[in-house]
Structure 1
């Protein structure tokens, strides 16, 4: 009887105090309007010796001629700015850093979008609209770093994913700035981080603070939040790369006239949701070889599945006007693709207008004692 009374009391309490009611509008996606899309796919594959290779594509509706390959030597001193433009955190790079940088931040003209260090830690900055980080107090300004500079910070001070997980909240305060290039959004990013042992995490902003998720898939795209993508994977428990060439429906026997039916279970769209599922499939079943050069080529073939040509999809940017001005559209395309060998310290970059990759290595910059920045074109 006592259990029954407690249960009834619990039900009564939930019915009166602990039930939240949400309208349909509250459930709908609250993405920003009028902002140029900014889509990315990042993943890792391994060779037969478990060496890690990182692939990433950057999709934008603009940006040609804005990206640079930037190198920072070990010992380079970074000086960031606080929200009031006073001096924020200053720190010295423990590792040499190589990154693809773009001037999306007023506080960091060489914002790292993609990069790795000579210890074998790599990251990708991908767009995911989310509420900004909690505002800092003035006493936190001396240790502050703009969130758009998160990537270069972790590459300068950490060697592994485990080090990052243990130290990401120590001695640094990240803050969200308004990015004019992205329509005033406040650093709408999340980050994928990898190391050469295969460690993988995703860092997102939730309730104004950073949250770090272990990432056994090694894959990240864009929104929704990372846990949503993992939950959605449960809808693809039937994924396999084993072809079903022969089948039977009722009394009718069926046979495939060609190969490739296994990929019919994959989403056909280039949305972040579709790309996440496809990236999990391609990275999981990528061919594994002994030769690192061949494995990079295998990774290149995988990343070709996420290459987006111009004009294949278009989004309305401005409607037609009564004065006869036609509607304007923007088209998202793959600005560049990066293939990174975390063990050998190689980064290969292919631009939209190029058939071939440009190769950059830590070895070629070892004599440089200051920052080097090369416009990618």
Structure 2
């Protein structure tokens, strides 16, 4: 499963974990402004905003998991199994296949205000990429530095929700994820006060007891609460190093370790990678389960007027710095 979050210091940061039992073979893919985008039902787009993100590239087409564009808008698709549903092709609207949704939005929107307008004329359709890549059941978080929204395409239509936390996990649907926070309004980063009863002397015997009750399991509901609490109470300096480091610590609160989530006999879901995008500067940071060193790709160091897709392999293998 997955967790996505936003973070704001001097710059705006957007990223996610991707938790699964295997990788499809991922790359950091940059779609330059003049790389032609071919949409199954909406025609071709020859010129657009540049995009950078993590993708599986199939037939020279980037199937983005998460990405940002050069204008500072970020978007990620997270598993929404059992709830996601896509429509047939309709007339009079922009029919966008599920796998095209991220490039369709990021190629032409410079803010969430523009995203909302575009969503007003979109129909997310059930056209698969290929027989090898059937429809993924997803919902999406879309954010800029001012606001976030969640988009869910379900059997009763498409829902667009304000996302004041800038956080998303998987199931249940987003309104239920938000509602469950009511159960945790007592949590605090401060030490608790004794409200148990008059005349009963109780002591906080450990630091961190204000967060007693914060869920620690790996379910999507619990990860939502945990990363929301971590994010809203996070503090760092405004430098790039401090901000990026803190963002990885925020998502590290929901990291999944091999062996703790068995999905079938001998197969375990793990955090395959964690991303942190400086959406203000167009830099894609990431680390992986096997490589905790933070690596980065800066889209503005590339020729963004190019007509060719630019790809970088994901660096694997732990990097250990011996000091003696």
Fold-level similarity (TM above 0.5): yes
| 1:376 matched residue in structure 2 | 314
1:360 pairs with 275, 283, 297, which one?
Answer: 297
Equivalent runs, 1:207-222 vs 2, <5 Å = 207-222=155-170
Higher helix share: 1
Report the Cα distance in structure 2 between the residues aligned to 1:343 and 1:215, rounded to whole angstroms: 20
Secondary structure in 2 matching 1:363: helix
| 1:96 matched residue in structure 2 | 50
Cα offset, 1:101, TM superposition: 0.3
Cα offset, 1:72, TM superposition: 1.0
Residues 121, 347 of structure 1: alpha-carbon distance in 2 compared, 3 angstrom cutoff: same
Q: Number of paired residues?
A: 312
Equivalent runs, 1:191-206 vs 2, <5 Å = 191-196=140-145, 198-206=146-154
Residues 193, 93 of structure 1: alpha-carbon distance in 2 compared, 3 angstrom cutoff: farther
Equivalent runs, 1:183-198 vs 2, <5 Å = 186-196=135-145, 198=146
CA-based RMSD of the aligned residues comes to 2.5
Q: Is 1:42 the equivalent of 2:4?
A: yes
Secondary structure in 1 matching 2:292: coil
2:40 pairs with 70, 73, 81, which one?
Answer: 81
1:282 pairs with 230, 233, 250, which one?
Answer: 230
| 2:219 matched residue in structure 1 | 271
Secondary structure in 2 matching 1:76: coil
Residues 277, 71 of structure 1: alpha-carbon distance in 2 compared, 3 angstrom cutoff: same
Report the Cα distance in structure 2 between the residues aligned to 1:55 and 1:147, rounded to whole angstroms: 20
Residues 176, 364 of structure 1: alpha-carbon distance in 2 compared, 3 angstrom cutoff: same
1:72 pairs with 31, 50, 53, which one?
Answer: 31
Cα offset, 1:303, TM superposition: 1.5
| 2:20 matched residue in structure 1 | 60
Residues 107 and 146, structure 1, Cα contact 8 Å, conserved in 2: no
Secondary structure in 2 matching 1:253: coil
| Unaligned stretches of 5+ residues in structure 2 | 316-324
Higher RCO structure (Cα 8 Å, ≥6 apart): 2
Report the Cα distance in structure 1 between the residues aligned to 2:89 and 2:59, rounded to whole angstroms: 16
Deviation per CA, 1:161-185, whole angstroms, max 9, x where unpaired? 1100012243x54312457668x5x
Q: Is 1:128 the equivalent of 2:80?
A: yes
Select the structure of larger CA radius of gyration. 1
| 1:16 matched residue in structure 2 | none
Per the normalisation by structure 2, the TM-score is 0.88
Residues 46 and 288, structure 1, Cα contact 8 Å, conserved in 2: no
Report the Cα distance in structure 1 between the residues aligned to 2:52 and 2:77, rounded to whole angstroms: 14
Report the Cα distance in structure 2 between the residues aligned to 1:338 and 1:131, rounded to whole angstroms: 24
2:116 pairs with 153, 160, 165, which one?
Answer: 165
Report the Cα distance in structure 2 between the residues aligned to 1:337 and 1:367, rounded to whole angstroms: 25
Residues 15 and 66, structure 2, Cα contact 8 Å, conserved in 1: no
Report the Cα distance in structure 2 between the residues aligned to 1:358 and 1:368, rounded to whole angstroms: 24
Report the Cα distance in structure 2 between the residues aligned to 1:364 and 1:251, rounded to whole angstroms: 66
Residues 265, 107 of structure 1: alpha-carbon distance in 2 compared, 3 angstrom cutoff: farther
